[in-house]
Amino acid sequence: MSELNETDLRGGNDRDGRRNRPRRDFLKTVGAMPAIVAAAGLPATATAAAVEEPKLPQVRLGPHSISRLICGTNPFNGGSHLSTFVNRQMKEYFTPEQILKTLRRCQEVGINCWQAGGGNVELYRRFIDQGGKMHFLSIEAQKADGANIRRLVEAGAIGVAHHGEVTDSLYKSGQIDKVHDFLKEVRDAGLLAGVSTHIPAVVDTIESKGWDVDFYMTCVYERHRSAAALEELLGQAPIPLGEVYLPKDPPRMFKAIRATKRPCLAFKILAAGRLSDRRRWVEDAFRQTLESIKPSDAIIVGIYDRYSDQPADNAALVRRFGVGG
């Protein structure tokens, strides 16, 4: 750069006396574009943007192409799963304006899907109205009148998963078939129908029933065991009884994920932030997850970008470990 003066950079005289060399070279490149497009087998009207490769590996979800990295929403809503103090810090940081800024950054690095609850749908519409381009997946606990489903359809959501906490409660009480009624309502509304769960046996049970499910949302940690279950596993239960993340849980869920042909969206791969303290832990979690799930699966990761460019960092790890989806 030190050998070029300001005139050179604007397209004036180059060093051997010819005028507008940079501009002429640029026009040559533009002129060559139709040939490049034709060679690619695309219509003559295609542009450079049309032949640009996606910034992240993609998977199919129904008719949609989804980045293998999906933006989660718990940090946006102040749900850290760590402590009330972290919840408050997240809620303070994530104003509506900051959420929109973070979503725009996610889009810049290639993330094209946001998974959130129906309470975020108005903010999603605001993002789209401001020129954002991102799919929206929701989780819902069914209401009797189905108003929440209709609202999601109107907002442009592409799919809805039955809320994992409710799914697991129904499974434990022997009422899992109630989820089937919810799926039918979602499908009748024209949306992709999914089931979220934290329990591998839920996936196995639904598969054995042959339900028409488009996708699963699968937490890799069974984080809400009862005190009795923890006593049986560990010999004791923590005090107070909170969320417990056991390192042998992810392989159990990975096995259930691989056993179904349906797309699975794995979440809480960083144990709700507990594996975020060291870079090696983060890399290991991304690598283990992406190597253990199917190439047709994706991951959902919550973003808390107050201190670092997490969208870019996470995208780099998916490009590193998740190619081939």
Looking at residue 16, what is its pLDDT? 38
Looking at residue 44, what is its pLDDT? 40
> Which stretches of 118-158 are assigned E, i.e. beta strand?
135-140
Looking at residue 52, what is its pLDDT? 59
- Please, are residues 34 and 50 in contact by the beta-carbon 8 Å criterion? no
What is the Cα–Cα distance from 243 to 236, expressed in whole angstroms? 14
What is the Cα–Cα distance from 304 to 298, expressed in whole angstroms? 19
- Please, are residues 123 and 95 in contact by the beta-carbon 8 Å criterion? no
Looking at residue 241, what is its pLDDT? 66
Query: For residue 18, how far is the Cα from the chain centroid?
Result: 51
How are beta strands 64-67 and 69-71 bridged, if at all?
unpaired
Please give the average pLDDT of every successive group of 10 residues along the chain, which has 325 residues. Answer: 35 39 37 37 41 83 98 93 91 97 98 95 96 96 72 95 94 95 93 97 97 97 83 80 87 98 97 93 98 98 96 98 74
Compute the Cα dihedral for 88, 123, 191, 49 and give only its sign. Answer: negative
Looking at residue 30, what is its pLDDT? 36
Domain boundaries, the chain: 6-51, 58-321
What is the Cα–Cα distance from 78 to 86, expressed in whole angstroms? 8
What is the Cα–Cα distance from 280 to 315, expressed in whole angstroms? 16
Compute the Cα dihedral for 225, 251, 73, 127 and give only its sign. Answer: negative
Alpha-carbon radius of gyration of the chain: 24
CATH topology classification for 58-321:
TIM Barrel (3.20.20)
What is the Cα–Cα distance from 87 to 92, expressed in whole angstroms? 9
Strand partners, 195: 162, 216
Looking at residue 53, what is its pLDDT? 67
Looking at residue 252, what is its pLDDT? 97
Which pair of tokens denotes residue 103?
Answer: 């979503």
